[in-house]
């Protein structure tokens, strides 16, 4: 019964988390971002003390249940392992696991390296190892294109029948590098799960290792009744984490993830999920030579663990890091000196210290402005969100990225705050403007500027040409996106490494701009 309930909750969790990433139509409300906010590393980075306390308390009470029913990467591994196990045509050919000692040196080395990286503000290592961020990149860069392709196929079929329920979406690769990392992660973790079960969880994942330290002292756990156990080893063959040593009646609780598969497998009813029990008397031949000494420092360990959990976010908040800034050659044809980080990120440093590149903001951006960075933020900022204006521009009234970010990398903004946040400044190059080069009337940039940072002034031969006021520009990129000049844009946005507050402007009209193909 416990196993079935665990599977039901895990399936619902994985389905909702995955669909929230690939849902381009907004079928799930933004409130479902709570599923991302309860993930462990996002809670650490966003300083969500309440979430961390609940997760630690849950682990102390029930063990690593988080890894079985909350973590999407953990559930994904269970799905792969179950498929691989079910491929056997005969029971004897089905996959069987066996007990293996923990690789503690590797586990704790990766955990220590991750903690140091987070505290120092170098989040690239955490981005690669964080199970939630890794799964998010898989969902955003691998599953989402497949979902879009399926949507476009249905659109073609239904449209051919005169039904216009579906609409076509552009299918393109946001970043070849991010896609490569996502595919490598999918194949690597998938292979380990296919062959060996949850090897990633108990050897590589820093979250699993940290929770494993706590789960040693959990109140409720899988327990072996030596009086009933016959050492048949069936439970060990069903254990995906290889933590059951049936010969010695031992379970490595630092690796047990409460999947409950062993409970259903035991025919002697020697396993139970329960609180502490008084050990039954054993025959002399079976009695252990010496009882394990009781740890006198258990309370100290638990107190230290809780303190460490709450201290890491504070240390991170005090950390300061300088990210290398590279010159960015973008679609505008200009060399952008400073990359543009999303509104609400405060600037490159704050984004770099809190973002693990889960790509949720990139997936949810309705204007498709956000894309993964390569080296524009420096090595530490690889795959973090940047604003590009080749597919659209940042809607003046849109705050989706700041609403859904679970890490606190993009802080929540009200619409009024968004209107005053300057992520970049407009730059006009008259030599590229078609008014200057072709003697053609234009003004598309001015028509699509929500703050009137671009206006038209008299030029020559009855024409008008853009005039810019960078102080009231918010860097939305509307002017850059609609500029018809080729091969170089005549107007573009230069980023701000630290976001500023734009000067107020006199509002004389609406800010909504409908774009259909050409800019005007």
Domain ranges of the chain: 2-274, 328-501
Q: What is the C-alpha to C-alpha distance for residues 408 and 423, in angstroms, rounded to an integer? A: 17
More confident residue, 137 or 487: 137
pLDDT beyond 90 at 34? yes
Q: What is the C-alpha to C-alpha distance for residues 450 and 343, in angstroms, rounded to an integer? A: 15
- Res 323: pLDDT: 35
Question: Which of 248-252, 311-315, 451-455 shows the lowest per-residue confidence on average (mean pLDDT)?
Answer: 311-315
pTM above 0.75, yes or no: yes
pLDDT beyond 70 at 237? yes
* 335 three-class SS: strand
Q: What is the C-alpha to C-alpha distance for residues 14 and 7, in angstroms, rounded to an integer? A: 10
Q: Which two tokens stand for residue 217?
A: 């002292």
pLDDT beyond 90 at 66? yes
How many residues are present in the chain? 520
Q: What percentage of the chain exceeds 90 in pLDDT? A: 66
Helix (H) or strand (E) holding 328: strand 328-329
- CATH code linked to domain 328-501: 3.30.70.20
DSSP 453-502: -EEEEE-STT-EEEEE-GGG-----HHHHH---SSS-SEEEEEEEEEEEP
In the chain the first and final C-alpha atoms are separated, in Å, by: 63
Name the pLDDT band for 302 (thresholds 50, 70, 90): very low
Q: Which two tokens stand for residue 39?
A: 């993930």
């Amino acid at each position: 019964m416990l196993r079935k309930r665990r599977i039901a909750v895990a399936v619902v969790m994985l389905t909702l988390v995955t669909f929230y990433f690939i849902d381009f139509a907004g079928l799930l409300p933004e409130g479902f971002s709570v599923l991302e906010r309860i993930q462990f590393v996002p809670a650490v980075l966003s300083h969500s003390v309440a979430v961390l306390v609940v997760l630690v308390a849950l682990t102390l009470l029930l063990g690593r249940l988080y890894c079985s029913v909350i973590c999407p990467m953990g559930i994904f591994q269970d799905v792969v392992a179950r498929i691989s196990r079910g491929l056997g045509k005969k029971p004897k050919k089905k996959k069987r696991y066996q007990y293996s000692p923990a690789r503690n040196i590797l586990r704790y080395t990766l955990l220590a390296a991750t903690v140091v990286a987070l505290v120092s503000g170098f989040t690239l290592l955490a981005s690669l190892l964080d199970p939630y961020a890794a799964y998010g990149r898989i969902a955003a860069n691998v599953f989402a294109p497949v979902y879009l392709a399926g949507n476009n196929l249905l659109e073609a079929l239904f449209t051919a029948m005169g039904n216009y329920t579906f609409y076509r979406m552009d299918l393109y690769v946001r970043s070849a590098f991010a896609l490569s990392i996502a595919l490598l992660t999918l194949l690597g973790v998938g292979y380990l799960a296919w062959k060996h079960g949850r090897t990633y969880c108990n050897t590589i994942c820093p979250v699993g290792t940290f929770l494993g330290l706590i789960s040693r002292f959990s109140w409720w756990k899988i327990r072996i009744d030596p009086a009933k156990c016959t050492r048949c080893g069936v439970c060990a063959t069903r254990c995906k984490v290889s933590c059951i040593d049936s010969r010695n009646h031992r379970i490595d609780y630092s690796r047990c993830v409460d999947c409950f598969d062993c409970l259903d497998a035991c025919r002697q009813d020697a396993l139970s999920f329960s609180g502490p029990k008084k050990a039954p008397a054993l025959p002399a031949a079976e009695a252990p030579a010496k009882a394990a000494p009781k740890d006198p420092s258990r309370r100290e360990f638990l107190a230290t663990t809780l303190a460490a959990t709450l201290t890491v976010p504070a240390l991170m908040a005090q950390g300061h890091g300088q990210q290398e800034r590279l010159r960015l050659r973008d679609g505008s044809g200009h060399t952008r000196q400073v990359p543009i980080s999303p509104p609400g990120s405060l600037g490159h440093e704050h984004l770099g210290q809190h973002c693990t590149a889960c790509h949720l903001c990139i997936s949810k951006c309705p204007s498709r402005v956000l894309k993964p960075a390569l080296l524009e933020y420096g090595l530490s900022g690889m795959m973090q969100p940047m604003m590009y204006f080749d597919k659209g521009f940042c809607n003046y009234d849109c705050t989706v990225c700041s609403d859904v970010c679970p890490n606190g990398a993009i802080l929540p903004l009200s619409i009024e705050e968004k209107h005053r946040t300057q992520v970049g400044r407009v730059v006009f190059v008259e030599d590229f403007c078609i008014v200057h080069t072709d003697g053609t009337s234009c003004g598309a940039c001015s028509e699509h500027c929500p703050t009137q940072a671009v206006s038209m002034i008299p030029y020559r031969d009855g024409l008008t040409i853009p005039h810019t006021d960078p102080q009231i520009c918010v860097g939305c990129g509307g002017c850059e996106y609609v500029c018809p000049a080729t091969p170089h844009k005549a107007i573009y946005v230069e980023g701000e490494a630290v976001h500023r507050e734009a000067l107020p402007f006199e509002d004389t009209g609406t800010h909504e701009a409908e774009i259909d193909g050409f800019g005007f």
